[in-house]
Copies of this chain bind each other. A is one copy, B any other.
């Protein structure tokens, strides 16, 4: 009989939880009106959970994949002992194929692979688990550091707009964009957060609003198409977003809609801040044009809340991410420091430092 799901608090900080000997994910597809943890028992189950967006957000995907490697290796050791690496190959392949855009996935898998390469004929579980837990802890620490660095950039108290969810739910905890917002709110620098609802998955209205409510940070939702109009009214100081992959030149892949938000920000003199750990920076891709952009099913646009609303049989263009050119980004904020007006040279210097 399957062990019952333990009673883990349904807080945004607990999106990815290693509890006892198991990995639990807070199912982000049904938040906030339903709060349910899912236990993942195999590497393929973890890969499917990433693909199906039980967990989402680049850093959270990376952390989850690292724990997926732990589970796959443990299962491999249990079934094949010394041949554990061969036994887990399919799990690793599934994890690597789960989602294409967030580079944190590949970054975490590569880091776990480096450790696996060091491991020999012993049970790999303890050391891999320690590494996955280190990745998780380091991500939280990075978020707190970059949160403070980003908050320091906000000169005057203002309202900010964020897109999608780059919060505790999208990371190990605390958040990237919402980490900056948390730090800035605590410092009295943010009066009001406006959250794009972020179609088609509504991460803004389902996740960001829920998360900020938990912390008593004032949040107002708006449809994605209203952001430019809100900026035209004045009072918005910054657009603050996360990222799924930052290219070597500072181009930023993030949730679809970010680019349009940046275009509107530039038109209205609103500054654009991208908050991300350095694990999101991929110096192997020269520019945003080289970042693979995931497309998902048209049904995500035609359906809402599990119900078909759009005209049956109509086609939809459903890219999950877009690319905001570095020239539109005022600051990339990482745990290693801030890059103002990013370019290839500045990004290289940050990553070398």
Is there an interface contact between A197 and B301, defined as CB atoms closer than 8 Å?
yes
Q: What are 27 A-to-B residue pairs whose CB atoms are below 8 Å? A: A32-B311, A163-B225, A197-B310, A198-B225, A199-B223, A202-B310, A205-B301, A205-B310, A205-B316, A206-B309, A206-B310, A210-B314, A219-B315, A220-B314, A223-B318, A224-B257, A225-B256, A227-B260, A228-B263, A229-B256, A229-B323, A260-B260, A263-B264, A266-B267, A267-B267, A304-B309, A307-B307
List, in ascending order, chain B residues with CB within 8 A of A298's CB.
Answer: 221
List, in ascending order, chain B residues with CB within 8 A of A230's CB.
Answer: 317
Q: A224-B224, A304-B304 are in contact. Are A194 and B317 (CB under 8 A)?
A: yes
Is there an interface contact between A228 and B316, defined as CB atoms closer than 8 Å?
no
List, in ascending order, chain B residues with CB within 8 A of A319's CB.
Answer: 226, 229
Is there an interface contact between A229 and B310, defined as CB atoms closer than 8 Å?
no
Instruction: Give Cα A311–Cα B215 distance, bound, in whole angstroms.
Output: 14
* Interface size of A in residues (CB-CB distance below 8 Å): 58
One complex includes copies of this chain to the number of 2
Q: Which of A151-210 contact B (CB under 8 A)?
A: 163, 194, 196-200, 202, 205-206, 209-210
Instruction: Give Cα A327–Cα B232 distance, bound, in whole angstroms.
Output: 14
Q: A32-B311, A33-B312, A304-B304 are in contact. Are A225 and B199 (CB under 8 A)?
A: yes
Mostly, the A contact residues are: mixed
Select one of B225, B256, B312 contacting A257, CB under 8 A. B225
Instruction: Give Cα A312–Cα B214 distance, bound, in whole angstroms.
Output: 12
Instruction: Give Cα A312–Cα B221 distance, bound, in whole angstroms.
Output: 12
Is A41 an interface residue when CB atoms closer than 8 A count as contact? Answer: no
Instruction: Give Cα A315–Cα B220 distance, bound, in whole angstroms.
Output: 5
Is there an interface contact between A322 and B32, defined as CB atoms closer than 8 Å?
no
Q: Which of A254-286 contact B (CB under 8 A)?
A: 256-257, 259-261, 263-264, 266-267
| Closest residue of B by beta carbon distance from A220 | B315
Select one of B194, B225, B307, B309 contacting A205, CB under 8 A. B309
Instruction: Give Cα A197–Cα B319 distance, bound, in whole angstroms.
Output: 14
Select one of B226, B256, B309, B315 contacting A202, CB under 8 A. B309
Select one of B232, B259, B309, B318 contacting A305, CB under 8 A. B309
Instruction: Give Cα A194–Cα B315 distance, bound, in whole angstroms.
Output: 10
Instruction: Give Cα A196–Cα B232 distance, bound, in whole angstroms.
Output: 21
Is there an interface contact between A264 and B257, defined as CB atoms closer than 8 Å?
no
